Amino acid sequence: MLPEVNLGISFFSLSTNIVPIPHPNPDNFLTFALQNKRNMSYRSHTCGELRIDHVGKNVKLAGWVQKSRDLGGMTFVDLRDRYGITQLVFNMETNAGLCEKARSLGREFVIMIEGEVAERSSKNPDRATGDIEIVVNDLQVFNPSKTPPFTIEDETDGGDELRMKYRYLDIRRSPVQSKLIFRSKLAIETRKHLDSQGFIEVETPFLIKSTPEGARDFVVPSRMNPGEFYALPQSPQTFKQLLMVSGMERYFQIVKCFRDEDLRADRQPEFTQIDCEMAFVEREDVLNTFESLTRHLFKAVINVDLPDFPRMSYDEAIGKYGSDKPDLRFDMPIHPLNETVKNQGFVVFDNAEYVGAISVEGIAEEYSNKDIKKLTDWVQRPQIGAKGLVYIKYQQDGSIKSSIGKFFSDETIKEWLDQLGVKPGDMLLILAGEKDKTLKQLGELRLEMGRRKGYLDSSEFKPLWVVDFPLLEWNDDSQRFYAMHHPFTAPAVEDIEKMESQDREVLKNLKANAYDLVINGAEIGGGSIRIHDRKLQQRNFDLLGFTPEEAEEQFGFLMGAFEYGAPPHGGIAFGFDRLCAVMNHQSSIRDFIAFPKNNMGRDLMIDAPAKIDEEQLKELQIKLDPKVK
C-alpha cells in the first residue's frame, strides 16, 4: 500500500511559497509544463554571445540570476550561464507587473526571459556582452534558490569544507568551472594527438587482483566468489604490457587509478593518468613521442611554445639541485665544497660526509642577523632537518661577514667565493652532514630562496627529462630492495650483467632505463623501458625479495606472456591532475577535480563512505571486525 500523502497543490505553490509573484503561470512545474506544450526551446542565444550587431533582435535567454539592482524606475538583472553574463532591464513604466516580478528575483534563481536586444547607454568594456542589454518583455521562473551558503563570485567567502559540501555551487564559480573546462580541453587534445600518432585507446579493467608490492590497494569483495576480492588498479601497468605482447604496439588511456594511502594535502585516493605504452621502442623514442605530446598540449590549449627538453641524469639532478625534479626556472646550483672547505680545522665541516652550498644573488646586505636567524630556524624545522646553517655574506664593498669567521680567514673565504663565482652582494648558504640528506636539504633551501627571490612567480615553463634513475632502493628497516620505479623496469643495458651480482653495493648502483618528465619542479610523468624477458623479470623479482612461488602467484600471467613472443617495449604515465595544475601555475590539483575527497578520503557532499546494510555484508559473506563500533 502507498503511504498516506496529500501534496495538494504543493508542486504548483512551491515557488509562490517563497516568492509570491502575481503572475499567471509563475511556477516551477506548471511553467515547465506550458513550456513543453508550446514545444519551444529554452533559449535562442547563450548569455555570452549577444553583441551590438544583435540590437533590435528578439531573443530568449535562460540562466541564473547573478545579481539584481533596483533603481526605482528600472530594475537591472545580471543573467549568467556557462557562456557569460548578460544584463537584463525591466522598466516600471512600460511593464509594472513584470518589473515587480523581476524585483522579487533572488540570487541564483533560474529564469528564462524573452526580450529585445538594445544598445546600452553606459557600456561595460570588461564584459563581452557589455555593449548591449535586453529589454525584457517576458519572464519565467524555473526554480527559486535559497540563499547560497557562500557567494557565487570569483572570490568567495566560503571555506574549504563548506565549498566541498556544496561543491555543486562551488562549480558555478567561474574559477572552478573554467578549471574543469580546461581539463576537458586538455583531455580531448591529448586524445586527438595520440590518435594522430597511431595510439589506440584501450580500456583496461577496474576489477583486478591485489598485489602486495607498491602502495596499498583498495579491495572489492566478490559476492560470486566468497572470500575473494578484486582490487582497484593503482595503474594499468601489467595490462598495458600485455597489450604490447598482444601486438597493439601503441596503447594509451586516460584512466582513473586508485591508491589507499594516507592522504597528504595534495593527494587523492582516485586520480587520473595519461597512460601509454609502445612496442619496438628505445628510450629516445618514448621521450621524443611524449615531448611532442607535451608540446602539442601546451600549444593547443594555452598557446605556449615550450623551450627545449634537456636530459639530465638522476645523479646530476641530485648533485646539482638536491632533487630528482629540479625547478629549472632558475639556476642557483648546489656547489659541492668537500674539496674546498674540509680538513682545515673546522670540526663541523671536517666531520661531515658532505658540505655544499648555494649562492643567492644580491641579498648580502638585505638579510639582517634576525633574517638569518629565521632562515636557520627554517632549515632546522623537522620537515627540512638540517643541523645548522652557515652563511657567508659577500658585501658590496668586498668585505666578508660570516658565521665561520672564527675558523677561516677572510682571504680563505674570498678564495672560495672567487672559485665559486660568487659576486659582491651575494650570500653563500652552506649546509653540512650526511650526503643524501644534506643534498636534499640544500635542494629545499634552494627552492625556498628561489621563492623568496620571486623566481617561482615566473610564468615560463621549463621542462626537463630526468634519466638514468637507480633501479633499486635499499630499505634498512625491512632489509630488502624496493623497485625505485616498479618491478617491471628494465635495467640499463650496460648493467644487465650486474643483475647477477650478489654484492649489495653493486646492486645499489644499478641504473634503470627509467625517466621522468619534470616541468617547473613538478613531476609530470614517469616511465621506463620494460623487461620483456622472463628470466630477467624473475631475477628482478628475486632481487625484490619475492620467492619464486610469490612471483608466480602474483605475476605469473605476465611472465607467462613473455614466453609467447613479447616484443621490446616501454612506456610512460603522466599525472593528468598534476599536468592540469602545472599548466595553470597552480600548486593544488584539487580544483581540477570535479568532486574531490578530503584528507580523510571523504566526499563531504554525498557523505561517502558510509555504512552499508547488514544484508549487503551477508551477501558478501564478510563481517565487520567487532572492534569497529
State the angle between helix axes of 369-380 and 435-452 in degrees (0 to 180), rounded to the nearest 10: 130
Minimal distance, residue 222 CB to its own copies, in Å: 4
CB nearer to its own copies: pick between 359 and 540: 540
Contact assessment for residue 90 and residue 104, using Cβ atoms and an 8 Å cutoff:
no
Nearest to 376 by CA among 434, 287, 456, 445: 445
**Cell output for 417:** 667565493
CB nearer to its own copies: pick between 50 and 231: 231
CA 298 to chain CA mean position, Å: 16
Measure the CA–CA gap between 588 and 591, rounded to whole angstroms.
7
Cis omega (within 30 of 0) for bond into 609: yes
Burial of 221 (0-12, 13-18, 19+ CB in 10 A): middle
CB nearer to its own copies: pick between 122 and 564: 564
Minimal distance, residue 198 CB to its own copies, in Å: 8
CB nearer to its own copies: pick between 447 and 490: 490
CB nearer to its own copies: pick between 260 and 331: 260
Q: What is the DSSP letter of 133?
A: E
CB nearer to its own copies: pick between 352 and 543: 543
CB nearer to its own copies: pick between 238 and 520: 238
Write the CA distances from 321 to 384, 450, 458, integer angstroms.
Answer: 15, 12, 18
Element (H, E) at 416: helix 410-420
Minimal distance, residue 369 CB to its own copies, in Å: 46
Burial of 345 (0-12, 13-18, 19+ CB in 10 A): exposed
Element (H, E) at 175: helix 174-196
> What residues pair up with 428 in beta bridges, in sequence order?
359, 392
Nearest to 441 by CA among 323, 353, 341, 348: 323
CB nearer to its own copies: pick between 119 and 282: 282
CB nearer to its own copies: pick between 52 and 594: 594
Minimal distance, residue 180 CB to its own copies, in Å: 6
CB nearer to its own copies: pick between 34 and 52: 34
Query: Residue 474 CB: number of other CB atoms within 10 A?
Result: 14
CB nearer to its own copies: pick between 218 and 407: 218
Calculate Rg over the CA atoms of the chain: 32
Minimal distance, residue 405 CB to its own copies, in Å: 50
Alpha-carbon dihedral sign for residues 27, 29, 35, 37 = negative
Minimal distance, residue 168 CB to its own copies, in Å: 4
Amino acid identity of residue 417, one-letter, is: L
Contact assessment for residue 526 and residue 252, using Cβ atoms and an 8 Å cutoff:
no
> What residues pair up with 487 in beta bridges, in sequence order?
none
Buried b (16+ CB within 10 A) or exposed e, 573-601: bbbbbbbbbbbbeeeebbbbbeebbeeeb
